[in-house]
Structure 1
Amino acid sequence: MFEAIIGLCLLSDPALCRDMLVPGYEAGTRAACERLLADSQSQSIPRPDPGPKVRFSSGEPRCAPAGPVASFGEVAPGVFVHRGMISDAATGNAGDVSNVGFVIGESVVAVIDSGGSRQVAESIYRAVRRQTSLPIGYVILTHMHPDHVLGASVFAEAGARVIGHAGLPRALQDRQEAYLANFGRLIGAAGFLGTEVVLPDSVVDQTAELDLGNRVLALQAWPDAHSGTDLTVGDPRTGILFAGDLLFDEHAPALDGSALGWRDVLARLQALPYQKIVPGHGGPLLDWPQAAAPLQDYLDVLIDDTRAAIARGDTLGQAAETVAQSQSDHWALFELFNPRNATVAYTELEWE
């Protein structure tokens, strides 16, 4: 398989370069790929827009053998899931630290989350193309965090509509500079080249349906919980729910919204008519609602310990060091995320 690529290099350090996939020009031979490029000469090949603080040079598109393909498993007919690494973003993983899925209908494909960099999203795109030539009609972003949204530009360039929670546009606008700077630092300039923030084309403020062609996905926006922008994606045909980071498995939970709200939403999720769930991290496919128990226990302890710390008169700094420590053996990356969770919970609960 061959594909179109463009070489990108940082102007500030021309030795830092990478080849960026140009979606839509895949072919079985180099000659066929080159014919597709020739036929598109009158069109403008998209160039990334990483913001005013990053400058790079780009070459002309050319055809090359297809690059790395993300590993996906078919967990049910037409439903594919990729398990991200249980890790923080780093040079060695390019931001491939969250779960991603795609669902194939009779007319179009929907991709659910997009990875933590354009480089990761390119490997996801190739995986979709290995399974089907149907158009990618939608990329659905389950919430605002960079490991889930920073690859969306690949699918937008392929013609997909970007879908998210009603609060997602404002959240991304407010955070895009910090997300790009922080993830770029963790991943490294070369691997992060071409990554940009893409705002949704359509938003969901309550519920919505997406028809993929004889297959309808059910989207539901949730109030403040893991974040303020959580959106779930259900496939009633297979009984599978994509929960985004409303559910964590193995990977320590990360709170960026409301501890009380998250506990309430988790209870409501358990009442939904799904038998399997894809968490934002871990799994990647778990029995539902049984898989809620570890996170429910963690949230109960987080809330109870925080209330106890406040009642004792502990400072925020003291609470961050002590709250929920009894859970430390149950979660990977606990020391990275739990102090943040305790801080958010303390700030929420101190005025009860």
Structure 2
Amino acid sequence: MARSRPSLPARLHAIVALAATLLLSLAQAGDAPAQALQPIRVSEHAWYVLGDAGMASGANQGFNSNAGFVITRDSVIVIDALGTPPLGDALLAAIRKLSSKPVKRVILTHYHADHFYGLAAFKAAGAEVWAHEAGKEYFGSGEAAARLAQRQKDLFPWVDESTRLIQADRWLSGGTRFEEGGLHFRIDILGPAHAPEDLMLTVEEDGVVFCGDILFAGRIPFVGNADSKRWLAAIDTLAGLKPKVLVTGHGRHSTDAAADLTLTRDYLLYLREQMGKAVEEMVPFEEAYARTDWSRFSKVPAFEAANRINAYGSYLTLERESLAR
């Protein structure tokens, strides 16, 4: 016997129910960044939010980096702004749950997309953006536009055609100090290392250092064509400071900088050792990559996404270093 077809009202009801379910799912997905941003307190005045351990993706809505903030007597100082405009909105909302004081300043540790695409929310709130002047090259070279196009594709709808890239209001030529709301802050320039414009911010009364991507805690760092020799020197500088708390660009904060810097340091040293040997022996990259034993790092988060790119960038960097001798 033929199965009877649902009546038109029944089919319409099913369609409406399905549409409602989809809309609810989208609404919940849109709320996800705000729900995920739970500030972690690391000192009397300082907090940070912890991004996902992997690479930026549609699944984590671009939330794979950290950002921090310091609540002073009079205002709030923010360190980095996360990787999408909705995440910037969510970070500001998370801050507002803890303080209604004005956000006076955003200090960018470096101009990589996962750390500054959320700036619009803070500019709209009246904050001033500070960054190292080496970041100007990012906008002048075409790199910023190329990365935005890639992010609009890979992170849509969290990054879309309305996303605008915001440059610093104040470009720093070197380290500096400032006082705000009874606290003393120090900015030190560490780049070029992970990025040309790497800097770190120290909250002196709390002994807290925000070091950006000089340290990737618990995951493989993104190296690309970074100056790994300078990066290793910056790691030594950080370890020598012996901060009470080190807030990283990726991964959980550290209360033992010397120990927790080990993974990033050892990985960079291994890249330089293995790719440097290949360059000296004039072994083509593909062969060098295939013969390298990566087992020590292969189970660390972000290895699959980042390691090959890192190795190739290191190979090219060491070729340049060899030619410059």
- Give TM class, smaller chain: 0.7 to 0.9
Which residue number corresponds to residue 228 of structure 2?
A: 259
Any idea what SS the aligned residue of 1:203 has? strand
Any idea what SS the aligned residue of 2:48 has? strand
Identical amino acids, percent of aligned pairs: 26
Of Structure 1 and Structure 2, the greater helix share is in 2
> Relative to 1, partners in 2 of residues 1:185 and 1:219: Cα closer, same or farther, differing over 3 Å?
same
* Match for residue 170 of structure 1 among 131, 137, 142: 137
Q: Which amino acid aligns with 1:289?
A: A
Which residue number corresponds to residue 203 of structure 2?
A: 235
Which residue number corresponds to residue 156 of structure 2?
A: 188
Cα distance in 1, alignment partners of residues 200 and 158 from structure 2? 33
> Relative to 1, partners in 2 of residues 1:68 and 1:295: Cα closer, same or farther, differing over 3 Å?
closer
* Match for residue 135 of structure 1 among 99, 102, 105: 102
Cα distance in 1, alignment partners of residues 134 and 276 from structure 2? 29
Q: Which amino acid aligns with 2:154?
A: L
Cα distance in 1, alignment partners of residues 267 and 247 from structure 2? 19
> Could you tell me whether the CA contact under 8 Å between 1:220 and 1:231 is conserved in 2?
yes
Which residue number corresponds to residue 47 of structure 1?
A: none
Cα distance in 1, alignment partners of residues 42 and 98 from structure 2? 14
> Could you tell me whether the CA contact under 8 Å between 1:303 and 1:345 is conserved in 2?
yes
CA drift at 1:158: 0.8
CA drift at 1:321: 4.1
> Could you tell me whether the CA contact under 8 Å between 1:250 and 1:330 is conserved in 2?
no
Matches within 5 A, 1:86-105: 86-105=53-72
Cα distance in 1, alignment partners of residues 208 and 292 from structure 2? 34
Which residue number corresponds to residue 249 of structure 1?
A: 217
Any idea what SS the aligned residue of 2:73 has? coil
Cα distance in 1, alignment partners of residues 214 and 73 from structure 2? 29
Which residue number corresponds to residue 216 of structure 1?
A: 184
**Structure 1 residues 153-206: Cα deviation after superposition (integer angstroms, max 9, x where no partner):** 110111111111111122134322122111121211366464221000112222
Which residue number corresponds to residue 73 of structure 1?
A: 40
Cα distance in 1, alignment partners of residues 139 and 205 from structure 2? 32
Matches within 5 A, 1:312-331: 312-323=281-292, 325-329=294-298, 331=300
> Relative to 1, partners in 2 of residues 1:331 and 1:286: Cα closer, same or farther, differing over 3 Å?
farther
> Could you tell me whether the CA contact under 8 Å between 1:118 and 1:194 is conserved in 2?
no
Q: Does 1:278 align with 2:247?
A: yes
> Could you tell me whether the CA contact under 8 Å between 1:309 and 1:323 is conserved in 2?
no
> Relative to 1, partners in 2 of residues 1:238 and 1:190: Cα closer, same or farther, differing over 3 Å?
closer
| Deviates most, 152-161 or 182-191 | 182-191
Q: Which amino acid aligns with 1:224?
A: P
Matches within 5 A, 1:304-315: 304-315=273-284
Q: Does 1:303 align with 2:243?
A: no
Unaligned runs of 5+ in 2: 1-22
CA drift at 1:231: 0.9
> Relative to 1, partners in 2 of residues 1:76 and 1:304: Cα closer, same or farther, differing over 3 Å?
same
Q: Does 1:338 align with 2:304?
A: no
> Could you tell me whether the CA contact under 8 Å between 2:85 and 2:121 is conserved in 1?
yes
Q: Which amino acid aligns with 1:246?
A: I
> Relative to 1, partners in 2 of residues 1:216 and 1:91: Cα closer, same or farther, differing over 3 Å?
same
**Structure 1 residues 198-244: Cα deviation after superposition (integer angstroms, max 9, x where no partner):** 00011222211232210121111123211111011111111111110
**Structure 1 residues 287-332: Cα deviation after superposition (integer angstroms, max 9, x where no partner):** 2222111211111111111111122321123334455614323521
For the pair shown, the structure with the greater C-alpha radius of gyration is 2
* Match for residue 117 of structure 2 among 139, 143, 150: 150
> Could you tell me whether the CA contact under 8 Å between 1:321 and 1:339 is conserved in 2?
no
> Relative to 1, partners in 2 of residues 1:283 and 1:190: Cα closer, same or farther, differing over 3 Å?
closer
Cα distance in 1, alignment partners of residues 193 and 291 from structure 2? 22
> Could you tell me whether the CA contact under 8 Å between 2:242 and 2:257 is conserved in 1?
no
Of Structure 1 and Structure 2, the greater strand share is in 1
Matches within 5 A, 1:195-210: 195-210=163-178
> Could you tell me whether the CA contact under 8 Å between 2:45 and 2:206 is conserved in 1?
no
Any idea what SS the aligned residue of 2:241 has? coil
> Relative to 1, partners in 2 of residues 1:324 and 1:295: Cα closer, same or farther, differing over 3 Å?
farther
Any idea what SS the aligned residue of 2:260 has? helix
- Calculate the TM-score normalised by the size of structure 1: 0.77
Q: Does 1:289 align with 2:258?
A: yes
Cα distance in 2, alignment partners of residues 94 and 182 from structure 1? 14
Cα distance in 2, alignment partners of residues 216 and 125 from structure 1? 23
- Calculate the TM-score normalised by the size of structure 2: 0.83
Which residue number corresponds to residue 10 of structure 1?
A: none
Any idea what SS the aligned residue of 1:350 has? helix
